[in-house]
């Protein structure tokens, strides 16, 4: 798994590691710049644009850019360096690398100092703005604090309006920090981040502004950073998932290859349980039983073929009735994992049924969709369980469950989700792009999934995949890690085929087998 750090934490970690290894910081800057230059050369080759503009500040971020520039100049790439601060204000490693670059006396480099937007437009660069170029954003790095100066906002906004340019942020988009919601930062096509991924680039506005993120080595092994990852934040990698799902025994039969019971459905919401049940089968469970109110049983019998459907008593509103409890209990005890919630509705009697099951039977549960709503104002029921419950809310469902506003969740989802999981002893899958997973101690970021997954029914497929994975690997945290990854990877395949807005939830089902093959789940 890849370490992920908050800005302040990675700065402290790097300082400690530099001291511990007695490695010169300027050597790390050289490694970072050289490896970044290699990435930029690939962009130059692919785009056909060989004119580079470096927009620099006065800190180490500028120093990285100067190293990059030197390695590009070696390849005869033309570079204009525009500093938004006097070069005389450079210090430490940045000053050294600027001096080296200046002393090259190369015809490929031009240096400018710019204070205002008016000055920016007057530079020779401004005269060539009709031409295509690649702009490297190296004004501020991860140590940035405070607010951007008005003059810098003006320049950034002007650049964002320009056509035929590509913007590459060095380490991070300049000025990006937590809760940023403005429109005054550069919007990068690519962010080349140094050594470790930064939390703020992966979520919300940061994700929107950072573009594609590539992490380059700086000469410090990954394992050196792990002791400093005090927040236990990790991004899931494919290699982390290999071997989680065991291969089927050659002499196995359907009932020892994972038994999943799904309880849900109500009039108008038959599609949800259909998608969950098919996803569970595709994921590999040998037997999936679908429990629905008798009011929709005939519909489900027609709709499903491979899934076993079982009718339970319904109330006057045609939702699941509490008087089916004993019959439902038998199915819970039979299954390896019970998924509750897809399409189940919010009828008070049905919600009481859900709470009674969870309160009295300590089984392996995945609770999704309206099943989560049953615990609004009844969160204590989730506590003190031997088998941790898996909850899979999106932001809106988490808001209803906790009473936190969507805004508060968006701004504080790391702390809020981790605290919730710890207090109520659950594994929380907070669905978003990317989805995050926490057991209260560790915080995992899913590395797959795009905006095309923002479609009705997508979450039902996810809950079915997770329930199936749980039935197969018997480990709740591993089941959500692999479940979220596979679900997102299915979406990525469809994104590449059909773009950002043409995926429907049912499309995901046909991709599960392909992703399983990629992960050697055969």
Kind of pairing between the strands at 165-170 and 426-430 = unpaired
- Chain centroid to CA 377: 29
Task: Determine, yes or no, domain membership for 7.
Answer: yes
Q: Which of 167, 193, 226 is the last residue of a domain?
A: 226
Give the C-alpha distances (Å, rounded to integers) separating 334 from 39, 276, 506.
Answer: 54, 19, 28
- 208 and 321, same structural domain? no
Does residue 128 carry a pLDDT above 90?
no
Q: How many CB atoms lie within 10 A of CB 318?
A: 16
* Domain assignment of residue 303, given as a range: 250-518
Q: Residue 234 corresponds to which tokens in the numbers above?
A: 């990790």
- 321 and 221, same structural domain? no
C-alpha to C-alpha distance for 87 and 59, rounded to whole angstroms:
11
Q: How many CB atoms lie within 10 A of CB 132?
A: 16
- 267 and 222, same structural domain? no
Residues 6+ apart with CB under 8 A from 9: 228, 229, 230, 231
Task: Determine, yes or no, domain membership for 238.
Answer: no
Task: Determine, yes or no, domain membership for 243.
Answer: no
Beta strands of 6-126 (E only): which ranges? Answer: 51-56, 78-83, 109-113
Does residue 4 carry a pLDDT above 70?
yes
Whole-number average pLDDT of the chain = 95
Give tens-digit pLDDT for 498-516: 999 999 999 999 999 999 9
Give tens-digit pLDDT for 184-212: 999 999 999 999 999 999 999 999 999 99
- 258 and 166, same structural domain? no
Burial class (CB in 10 A: 0-12, 13-18, 19+), 198: buried
- 187 and 147, same structural domain? yes
- 258 and 202, same structural domain? no
Q: Which residues of 472-497 are buried (b: 16+ CB within 10 A; e: fewer)?
A: bbeebbbbbbbbbbbbbbbbbbbbee
- 279 and 210, same structural domain? no
Closest CA relative to residue 505, chosen from 355, 342, 372: 342
Residues 6+ apart with CB under 8 A from 192: 36, 39, 40, 168, 169, 170, 171, 214, 216
- 190 and 328, same structural domain? no
For residue 121, what pLDDT is reported?
86
CATH number for the domain spanning 323: value is: 3.40.1190.20
- 271 and 215, same structural domain? no
Q: Which of 211, 226, 241 is the last residue of a domain?
A: 226
As for how many domains the chain has, the answer is 2
Does residue 44 carry a pLDDT above 70?
yes
> 434: cis peptide before it, omega within 30°?
yes
- 110 and 43, same structural domain? yes
For residue 163, what pLDDT is reported?
85
Q: Which residues of 106-121 are buried (b: 16+ CB within 10 A; e: fewer)?
A: bebbeebebeebebbe
Task: Determine, yes or no, domain membership for 232.
Answer: no
Helix, strand or coil, per DSSP, at residue 284 = coil
Task: Determine, yes or no, domain membership for 484.
Answer: yes
Task: Determine, yes or no, domain membership for 101.
Answer: yes
CATH number for the domain spanning 184: value is: 3.40.50.10260
Give the C-alpha distances (Å, rounded to integers) separating 63 from 82, 169, 193, 421.
Answer: 13, 14, 14, 42
Q: Which of 226, 260, 294 is the last residue of a domain?
A: 226
Kind of pairing between the strands at 233-235 and 2-5 = antiparallel
Q: Which residue has the higher pLDDT, 102 or 255?
A: 102
Task: Determine, yes or no, domain membership for 245.
Answer: no
- 257 and 204, same structural domain? no
Does residue 126 carry a pLDDT above 80?
no
Task: Determine, yes or no, domain membership for 492.
Answer: yes
- 263 and 213, same structural domain? no
Q: Treating both helix axes as pointing N-terminal to C-terminal, what angle do 406-424 and 395-402 enclose, rounded to 10 degrees?
A: 70
Q: Residue 363 corresponds to which tokens in the numbers above?
A: 């089984």
């Amino acid at each position: 798994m890849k370490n992920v750090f908050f800005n302040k934490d990675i700065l402290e970690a790097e300082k400690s590691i530099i001291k511990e290894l007695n490695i010169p910081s300027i050597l790390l800057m050289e490694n970072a710049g050289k490896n970044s230059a290699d990435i930029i050369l690939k962009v130059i080759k692919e785009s056909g644009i060989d004119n580079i503009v470096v927009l620099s500040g006065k800190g180490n971020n500028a120093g990285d850019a100067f190293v990059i520039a030197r390695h590009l100049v070696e390849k005869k790439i033309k570079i204009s360096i525009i500093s938004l601060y006097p070069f005389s204000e450079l210090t430490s490693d940045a000053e050294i690398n600027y001096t080296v670059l200046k002393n090259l006396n190369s015809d490929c480099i031009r240096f400018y100092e710019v204070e205002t937007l008016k000055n920016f437009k007057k530079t020779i660069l401004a005269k060539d703005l009709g031409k295509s170029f690649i702009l490297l954003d190296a004004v501020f790095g991860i140590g940035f604090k405070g607010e951007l100066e008005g003059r810098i906002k003006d320049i950034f906004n002007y650049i964002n309006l320009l056509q035929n340019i590509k913007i590459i942020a060095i380490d991070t988009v300049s000025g990006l920090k937590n809760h940023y919601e403005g429109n005054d930062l550069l919007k990068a096509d690519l962010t080349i981040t140094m050594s470790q991924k930064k939390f703020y680039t992966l979520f919300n506005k940061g994700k929107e502004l950072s573009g594609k993120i590539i992490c380059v080595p700086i000469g410090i092994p990954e394992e050196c950073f792990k002791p400093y990852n005090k927040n236990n934040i990790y991004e899931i990698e494919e290699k982390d998932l290999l071997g989680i799902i065991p291969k089927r025994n050659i002499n196995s039969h359907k009932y020892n290859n994972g038994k999943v019971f799904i309880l849900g459905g109500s009039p108008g919401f038959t599609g949800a349980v259909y998608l969950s049940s098919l996803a569970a089968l595709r994921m590999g469970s040998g037997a999936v039983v679908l429990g629905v109110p008798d009011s929709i049983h005939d519909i489900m019998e027609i709709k499903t073929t491979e899934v076993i459907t079982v009718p339970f008593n319904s109330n006057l509103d045609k939702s699941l009735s509490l008087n089916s409890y004993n019959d439902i209990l038998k199915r819970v005890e039979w299954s390896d994992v019970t998924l509750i919630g897809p399409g189940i509705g919010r009828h008070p009697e049905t919600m009481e049924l859900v709470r009674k099951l969870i309160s009295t039977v300590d089984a392996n549960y995945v609770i999704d969709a309206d099943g989560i709503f049953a615990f609004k104002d009844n969160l204590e029921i989730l506590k003190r369980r031997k088998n941790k419950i898996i909850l899979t809310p999106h932001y809106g469902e988490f808001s209803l469950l906790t009473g936190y506003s969507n805004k508060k969740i968006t701004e504080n989802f790391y702390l809020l989700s981790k605290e919730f999981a710890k207090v109520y002893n659950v594994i929380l899958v907070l669905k978003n792009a990317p989805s995050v997973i926490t057991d209260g101690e560790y915080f995992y970021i899913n590395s797959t999934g795009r905006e095309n997954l923002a479609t009705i029914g997508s979450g039902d497929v996810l809950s079915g995949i997770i329930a199936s994975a749980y039935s197969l690997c018997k480990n709740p945290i591993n089941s959500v890690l692999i479940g979220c990854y596979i679900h997102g990877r299915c979406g990525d395949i469809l994104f590449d085929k059909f773009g950002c807005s043409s995926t429907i939830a049912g499309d995901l089902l046909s991709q599960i087998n392909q992703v399983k093959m990629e992960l050697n789940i055969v």
